[in-house]
Amino acid sequence: MTAVVLRELLGYAPLLVVTVLVIPVVLVPVSPRARRLVSRLALPLFGRYVAESGARRRRQTNRMRAAFVGDSYRVFAAQTYLISAVAGVAGSVYGVYLAAFVLRSLAVEPAAIRAALPTPLHVLAAVASVPDLSLLQLFALLAVASATVGSLFAFGTYWVRWTILDQRARTRGIEIDATMPRTVAFVYALSRSGVPFQSVLRTLSRNQAVYGEAAREFSVAVREMDAFGTDILSALQTTATRTPSSNLEEFTENLASVLSSGQNVSTFLRDQYERFQEEAQAQQRQYLELLSTFAEIYVTVLVAGPLFFVTVLVVVGLVLQDTLTLIRLVSYVAIPLATFGFVVYVDSMTEGLNGPAHRVSDDVDDAKPAAIDEAGGVTDGGAVRSRAGRVEPVRADDATAENWRRLAVYDRVGSIRRTLSNPVELVLRRPGYTAVLTGPLALLAVWLAIDDAVRDAIEAVGSGAADPRSAATGLVEIADGPIALAAIVVLAGVAVAHEIKKRRTRAIEADMPDFLDRMASINEAGVTVVGCIERLSTAELGRLGDEVARVWRDIQWGSSVGDALARMERRTDAPTVSRAVTLIRNAMAASGDISPVLHIAADEAQEARRSAGSVARRCSPTSSSSTSRSSSSSGSSSP
């Protein structure tokens, strides 16, 4: 008996080995270690087969540049060959096991098939049954299955890996177009403040977390200038040839022409900023119309349709036969899957129209604790950079070292203390943390809802006294309600925290244009930036007023204006605040007169607020109903 079991397990050894080989290949898109491992294996094996020149290499290189792939063409192509080869081998092995599974599944006697089928379908018994195959025929069948599945896996993987680059390039093009208005506004504002244009591009490339893919594209030009000594015109031409966005390509080409001809760059940037704002408004109107169409489709197909279908099933179940199982499938499987598919479809259709995901810049961090070595030297936090570029620790006496140790301990427990002292703020920043509270409550609700019948069914299945299938059906019928209730409790906590966070962010962003306009007016009167913040700290600015007051307190306690504004950016976690703070900090570094920059930032914030408000009004149920009522009334009054 043991020998038979070992023989069965030994038959699955090739499947296990191939699966282990496939794991690093599957992890290449998400794991840097897996990517390095595959690269080290691919270059010696397939590096010599990569084309050195030709139209195909140029075409694929352009696809890689548009998708912003970090690897060189030789590395990526060698990786593709290796991944395709592994996929082909794995597909061949999987094809053999798949063919064997099909043969074993269909190896049923014709008499048994006839007994299971109605009389008119007895002819299918001869078709569905597998005839007895000789050893040579079985080998040929498995070989054909292995070669077919392996070839499909190999060529399919090769095609998909290069095709994904086109999809990534298209996605990046949409994101670049969505971020062009705010990027051009940033460049225009800094150029108005007197910053050299090369420095403007360098500043933009350092703020990719705020300005997204457009800033990432300009970082290519900055890298060309800093690393290779390329002039700015050639660097902009390189950016124009590799970008997947037609708008950015046209903008960089026109910008290079303006710079080469010696025209006024600020005037050109102002015209481009106005043009991109008009295009953004037109795109916003199209976006709203598309959203209204999707809303009508969703209500018709995924709300009214399932309700009508479930109602019909309930009536049929009351009159003719039991339809409870079908109702459960529709409610727990069909509707969630259809909703998820609809969300994915809407996201793909509206991709990039709302701009990039917001990330707060990390230019200014809080004070980090210093690490003390055994000799009392400060090795972190107190390190200085010598003129040779080396980081050298600062030596300290015993008293200073002891103070650094105490400060390090205080900073280690500081994050825990802040979390425990203000857990609501942590939950609002990370709505998923609500599961720490709602998860145990949901499990407790499920445990309390489980009665003795569930425990008896579990014990019966464990002892083998009951049919596992019927027992599993009974468990599902009893436990589906409590499990659904627990899921609702967990998701409701996350939804409430997320909604509170979004409303607070919208309230802060709504007050941002007023704050920037007031700050610009005060600065035009000759008041410094610090004086502007002092006056505005007591002004009525809604939710933003509390944050401005905290900025002024930071300045009073010795913090610089840039650091205080950066802390406000991290606290609010709002995209509009991040863009405004980034613009103000960089403008202050160039000039004390930042009123033109503030006006531009206020216009950009006002436009963002207007767009967000129009989307919210268009998507709200009340506005939809009022729109429908107005349209119906106008339709009834028309002849």
Per cent of the chain over pLDDT 70 is 74
CA 181 – CA 599 distance, rounded (Å): 15
DSSP state of 559: -
The per-residue pLDDT for 424 is 75
Asked whether the predicted pLDDT for residue 368 surpasses 60, the reply is no
CA 41 – CA 58 distance, rounded (Å): 25
Give the CA distances from residue 188 to residues 185, 194, 277, 477, 520, in Å, rounded to whole numbers and listed in that order. Answer: 5, 10, 13, 64, 16
The per-residue pLDDT for 343 is 85
Look at residues 497, 513, 540 and tell me which one is the last residue of a structural domain: 497
Q: Do 570 and 557 form a contact (C-beta atoms < 8 A)? A: no
Q: Which CATH number fits the domain that encloses residue 611? A: 1.20.81
Bridge-partner residues for 372, per DSSP?
Answer: 378
**Residue 639 lies inside a defined structural domain of this protein:** no
H or E element in which residue 214 lies: helix 208-228
> Considering only CA atoms, which of 350, 354, 365 is closest in space to residue 289?
350
Asked whether the predicted pLDDT for residue 173 surpasses 60, the reply is yes
Asked whether the predicted pLDDT for residue 508 surpasses 60, the reply is yes
CA 29 – CA 22 distance, rounded (Å): 13
> Considering only CA atoms, which of 617, 607, 610 is closest in space to residue 273?
607
Same-domain check for residues 201 and 154: no
Whether the pTM exceeds 0.85: the reply is no
Same-domain check for residues 278 and 320: yes
Look at residues 171, 203, 218 and tell me which one is the last residue of a structural domain: 171
* Mean of pLDDT values over 425-450: 80
> Considering only CA atoms, which of 508, 484, 504, 486 is closest in space to residue 496?
504
Instruction: Name the least confident of 11-15, 182-186, 257-261.
Output: 11-15
Question: Within 13 Å of residue 274, how many CA atoms lie on the same side as its CB?
Answer: 5
Count Cβ atoms below 10 Å from residue 169 Cβ, excluding itself: 21
**Residue 357 lies inside a defined structural domain of this protein:** no
**Residue 359 lies inside a defined structural domain of this protein:** no
DSSP state of 385: E
Report the amino acid identity of residue 79: Q
Same-domain check for residues 208 and 159: no
Same-domain check for residues 72 and 137: yes
Bridge-partner residues for 378, per DSSP?
Answer: 372, 394
CA 587 – CA 600 distance, rounded (Å): 12
Show Cβ contacts of residue 615 under 8 Å, excluding neighbours closer than 6 positions.
284, 287, 288, 291
The per-residue pLDDT for 31 is 86
Asked whether the predicted pLDDT for residue 478 surpasses 80, the reply is no
Q: Do 142 and 99 form a contact (C-beta atoms < 8 A)? A: yes
Count Cβ atoms below 10 Å from residue 402 Cβ, excluding itself: 13
H or E element in which residue 392 lies: strand 391-392
pLDDT band at 631, cuts 50/70/90?
A: very low
The per-residue pLDDT for 121 is 55
Same-domain check for residues 112 and 202: no
Would you say the C-alpha torsion 500, 501, 502, 503 has a positive or negative sign?
positive
Asked whether the predicted pLDDT for residue 390 surpasses 80, the reply is no
pLDDT digits (tens, 9 = 90+) for 103-126: 766 665 666 656 655 666 555 555
Asked whether the predicted pLDDT for residue 617 surpasses 70, the reply is no
* Mean of pLDDT values over 299-328: 83
Asked whether the predicted pLDDT for residue 367 surpasses 70, the reply is no
Look at residues 465, 497, 529 and tell me which one is the last residue of a structural domain: 497
Asked whether the predicted pLDDT for residue 384 surpasses 70, the reply is no
Q: Give the residue, 134 or 88, on which the prediction is more confident.
A: 88
**Residue 131 lies inside a defined structural domain of this protein:** yes
**Residue 397 lies inside a defined structural domain of this protein:** no
Q: Do 326 and 313 form a contact (C-beta atoms < 8 A)? A: yes
Domain hosting residue 525, numbered range: 499-631
Asked whether the predicted pLDDT for residue 155 surpasses 90, the reply is yes
Residue carrying the six token digits 């230019």: 363
* Mean of pLDDT values over 345-371: 53
Same-domain check for residues 276 and 190: yes
Same-domain check for residues 506 and 469: no
Show Cβ contacts of residue 283 under 8 Å, excluding neighbours closer than 6 positions.
353
Instruction: Name the least confident of 251-265, 301-315, 453-467, 621-635.
Output: 621-635
Same-domain check for residues 85 and 209: no
* Mean of pLDDT values over 308-322: 82
**Residue 388 lies inside a defined structural domain of this protein:** no
Asked whether the predicted pLDDT for residue 353 surpasses 80, the reply is no
DSSP state of 359: -
The per-residue pLDDT for 359 is 53
pLDDT band at 387, cuts 50/70/90?
A: very low
Same-domain check for residues 471 and 532: no
Asked whether the predicted pLDDT for residue 236 surpasses 50, the reply is yes
**What mean pLDDT, rounded, does the chain reach?**
77
Count Cβ atoms below 10 Å from residue 408 Cβ, excluding itself: 17
Q: Do 431 and 501 form a contact (C-beta atoms < 8 A)? A: yes
Per cent of the chain over pLDDT 90 is 6
Residue 212, burial from CB neighbour count under 10 angstroms (0-12, 13-18, 19+):
buried
**Residue 488 lies inside a defined structural domain of this protein:** yes
The angle formed by the CA atoms of residues 121, 122 and 127, to the nearest 5 degrees, is 95
Q: 71-77, long-range: CB within 8 Å, 24+ apart, which pairs?
A: 71/39, 74/43, 74/47, 74/50, 75/39, 75/42, 75/43, 77/46, 77/50, 77/51
**Residue 256 lies inside a defined structural domain of this protein:** yes
Report the amino acid identity of residue 223: R
Q: Do 341 and 302 form a contact (C-beta atoms < 8 A)? A: no
Count Cβ atoms below 10 Å from residue 382 Cβ, excluding itself: 17
Show Cβ contacts of residue 578 under 8 Å, excluding neighbours closer than 6 positions.
210, 358, 360, 361, 569
Number of domains in the chain: 4
Same-domain check for residues 91 and 126: yes
> Considering only CA atoms, which of 208, 201, 205 is closest in space to residue 252?
201
Pairing state between β 391-392 and 384-385: antiparallel
Same-domain check for residues 110 and 256: no
Q: Is 394 helix (H, G, I), strand (E, B) or coil?
A: strand
CA 46 – CA 81 distance, rounded (Å): 7
> Considering only CA atoms, which of 602, 614, 595 is closest in space to residue 531?
595
Same-domain check for residues 478 and 526: no
